[in-house]
Every structure is written in structure tokens, then in C-alpha cells.
Amino acid sequence: MRITLRVIGIGPGGPRQITLQAIDAMADVDVFVMLDKGSAKGGLLQVRRDILDQHAPGRTVLELADPPRDRHPADYDAEVRRWHEARAALIETALRAELTDGGVAAFLVWGDPALYDSTLRIVDDLSRRPGLDLDVEVIPGVTSASALTAAHGILANRVGEPIHITTGRRLADTPPGADTNQIVMVDGDLSFRQTADPDDHIWWGAYLGTDDEILISGKVGEVSDEIVAVRAQARERIGWIMDIYLLRKP
């Protein structure tokens, strides 16, 4: 069974940050596949629905219940691999049921598919499954990192300095010399409170590019408590949160 599978970056949430290339890629898709992460994150699905209503109205949408995942496993890497395999199996079943030979399916991916997203790993798994012949097309998107720096009106680094991109889980593992400019994603625990010095500068943002956008910046010692409080309030009010920050040594 031959399928064209498009992985389309749609930016960090702002409907005006979708590229013309992404819009073109939506035009002849037969089935859009979305993973439903439950009512708490229903807003994430609604944003995708709104995008399709505007740019690909009338297309078939498959909303699949995301397989459960242990958020505090003894072996994090093994649990993520198991979760990805479960997702791939679910998607394979849906594609076989909904598409005929030569069909086109697509995923709408937050930000850019190459930056902290599991979709391409799942696609790799699908491509190895017997009887599936996938023609994969990847459409880049505006990253949350570029949306963050644009929203704050700053550069990601100073002249000649490196940029280290990491997650909250790995922030404490940043090697010496790589912590001059750190872009930190997926940090529900706001780990900078344990790793940063009070004089380090932070530029934090949530819901970038949307009507709910929140921006806070300043020295870590002066704005940490504000970020913690504002983040908790926003998550309670909206039901989910996507945030990112740049951490810089003075």
C-alpha cells in the first residue's frame, strides 16, 4: 500500500505564523491524523480544527485517542519508545482503514517537525512496517524558539556565542561553557530555578503568537516567582500551556 505522508509544521500556535508552503501542502490531503490528548488539552485540537476550517475545509479528520504514558517512569527512554510504538500501531491501523493505495495523509505539527517533536520518529517506525510504502514529505514551520526571540525583540545570542537548545529534564546536565545562551523547552518544573544564578537573564514566553501570549523577562532572581505564579494561573485558566525560555549568562 503506497501512501504519501506529510508532516506539516504549523508554527507555535499563531494562525498567522503558518507558511504558504504549509497551506499548499494541506490542499490535496485525504486524511488529517490528530492525536487527542484528552479534555485538558482539547484546546490544542481546536486550534488545528480552526486551521483546517480556514485552509482545508471539508477534509476528513481522524482524531485518535493518544495511548497512555507513564509520566514518571523508572526508565524514561524505554517508556518513550514504548509510547511511540503504541502511537505508530494506532496510526497504522487508522491509515489502512481510511486510505486506499495512492492516498495522502498528513499530521499538523506544532512549531517545526525537527525540533522536539516525536512525529518523525513515529513516521520512521511506520515506514518499517510490512505492506506500507510511505512517501514522506516534511514541511518546515516557525519554531517556538524563533517566535520567542521575535516576541521579545532580541537575538538568541551575542556576537560569536554558541546557542544550546535543551529541555528542562536535561538542563542540569548542560556542560560548562555551553550555558552562555540556553533555549529551554518542555520544562514543566521550571528547572532554571535550581540551575541558574540570580544575575542570569531570562526571557520567558507562553502561547506565543496567540491572543493568550504572555511574556516575562528580567534577572532570574527578580522574576522567578512571577513566572511561577503567572504560569500556574495561565495553565489553570486555559487548561494547558506551551512555554519556552532563553536563559543567558551576564
Give the model's pLDDT for residue 39: 56
Residue 12 in contact with residue 242, Cβ under 8 Å? yes
Phi, psi of 100 (to 5 degrees): -105, 170
Residue 172 is given by DSSP the state G
Pairing of strands 133-139, 31-36: unpaired
The C-alpha cell that represents 180 in the structure block: 552562555
Q: Environment class of residue 36 by beta-carbon count within 10 Å: exposed (0-12), middle (13-18) or buried (19+)? A: middle
Query: Tens-of-pLDDT digits for all 250 residues of the chain?
Result: 999 999 999 999 888 899 999 999 999 999 999 988 765 566 778 888 889 999 999 999 999 998 988 888 989 889 999 999 999 999 999 999 999 999 999 999 999 999 988 999 999 999 999 999 999 999 999 999 999 999 999 999 999 999 999 999 999 999 989 999 999 999 999 999 999 999 999 999 999 999 999 999 999 999 999 999 999 999 999 988 999 999 999 9
Q: Environment class of residue 150 by beta-carbon count within 10 Å: exposed (0-12), middle (13-18) or buried (19+)? A: middle
Residue 247 in contact with residue 200, Cβ under 8 Å? yes
CA distances from 245 to 1, 38, 66, 231 (A): 43, 26, 27, 12
Instruction: Say which CATH topology domain 144-248 has.
Output: 3.30.950
Q: How many CB atoms lie within 10 A of CB 102?
A: 11
CA distances from 214 to 42, 44, 54, 146, 152 (A): 20, 17, 25, 15, 10
Map grid coordinates 500501531 to a residue: 89
Please check whether the two domains, 2-139 and 144-248, share a CATH topology.
no
- Rg of the chain, C-alpha, whole Å: 19
Continuous H helices in the chain: 20-26, 42-55, 76-98, 119-127, 144-152, 192-195, 220-238
Give the model's pLDDT for residue 70: 87
Where in the chain are the domains? Answer: 2-139, 144-248
Continuous H helices in 56-186: 76-98, 119-127, 144-152
Q: Give the integer Cα–Cα distance in Å for 95 and 107.
A: 12
**What is the CATH superfamily name and number for domain 2-139?**
Tetrapyrrole methylase, N-terminal domain (3.40.1010.10)
